[in-house]
Amino acid sequence: MTDRRPRIVVIDDSAAAIALYERSAEGLGVQLEAFRSPVESLQHLKPHGADLVFTGIMMLEADGWGILKKLNSWTHHQDTPEIVVTMKNYAQDRVLAAQLGAREYLIKPLRSQEIREITCKYTGAKIPAED
């Protein structure tokens, strides 16, 4: 039996950021895969794909601009929503992100609710009702 849950890939070299994504995804019925290494994330994404990708921009190993360019060069990723997450709040970066196909440009620090809302918006996941 295959896992039909939406697949979310997070690319961020911060362990704290990845922990926030993991906590935020709880209860949404999604499969979250996080990578601190941009190179490893691309090696994973090429054969496996994703339903949504969150990527940082400023990382030690590679930058998010290169990740977006690579993903958009792969035919099977043409329609994958990509979300840029950065501390840089500059108009030229927003323009570049849009040119590279990013659907959203989020400024750190992120809130869990923001991650949950974006995840639901692009994957159809539902935030569970409060008891």
pLDDT digits 0-9 by tens, 50-99 = 999 999 998 888 888 999 999 999 988 889 999 999 999 999 999 999 99
Q: How confident is the model at residue 100 (pLDDT cuts 50, 70, 90)?
A: very high
H helix runs in the chain, sequence order: 15-25, 38-48, 64-73, 91-99, 112-123
Q: How many domains does the chain have?
A: 1
Assigned domain for 62 exists: yes
- Dist CA 65 CA 79 (whole Å): 17
CA distance linking residue 101 with residue 104, whole number of Å: 9
Q: What is this structure's pTM?
A: 0.93
Average pLDDT, the chain: 92
Q: What pLDDT does residue 119 have?
A: 97
**Residue range of the domain that includes 43:** 7-111
Residue 4: pLDDT band with limits 50, 70, 90: confident
Residue 127 lies in a domain: no
Amino acid at 73: S
**In sequence order, which residues have a C-beta less than 8 Å from that of residue 78 and are 6 or more positions away?**
72
